[in-house]
Amino acid sequence: MATKETVKKSTSSGEVDTEASGPNVKKKAVVKKTTPKKVAAKTVAKVTTPKVAKAPVKTTVKVPAKADVISKLRIRVRAYEYKILDLSVKQIIDTALRYDATVQGPIPLPTEIKKYTVNRSAFVYKNAREQFEMRIHKRLIDILNPTPKIMEALTNMSLPSGVNIDVKII
């Protein structure tokens, strides 16, 4: 149970009483100078609620029941640069949605990192080495019950260089 507090302040212009309760109360006192009319001091208690972080909004696509799924087109997209990869995935999804396909994804897969260590100079300074790495970013897209129009549109689509696509029918 929250305790009730009463604070009485005395100032040169008059007295102020503030009353509020609870742990989330900010107290703000408004003081008016006393005049011959005897204006009372006003107190304003503002109750604040703790802020809760909002979850990011995700778009969901209807997934048919397992009995309805006859075939699945699994597209695995790989690239060295994630920006080009995301643009290509968006282009694939837009093409599939244009033909009223049910799309699952894009699902980000773990980034594959290849590290290489090389001597900086030949024959001497064994301790001086450089390290290089190659990052391969991957995404997975599933298209449920693809039609021949979707298959044709996806095969005729032109994607930027550096993007590798593997397509399987499951």
Query: Taking the mean position of all CA atoms in its chain, how far away is CA 111?
Result: 18
What's the domain range around 9? 4-47
Tens of pLDDT, residues 14-37: 544 445 555 555 555 555 555 555
In a domain, 61, yes or no: no
Confidence of residue 165 (pLDDT cuts 50, 70, 90): very high
Same domain, 23 and 89: no
Same domain, 78 and 160: yes
In a domain, 104, yes or no: yes
Tens of pLDDT, residues 97-115: 999 889 998 999 999 999 9
Same domain, 82 and 147: yes
Same domain, 29 and 84: no
Same domain, 162 and 123: yes
Q: Number of structural domains, the chain?
A: 2
Same domain, 98 and 142: yes
Q: In this structure, what CATH number is given to the domain that contains residue 86?
A: 3.30.70.600
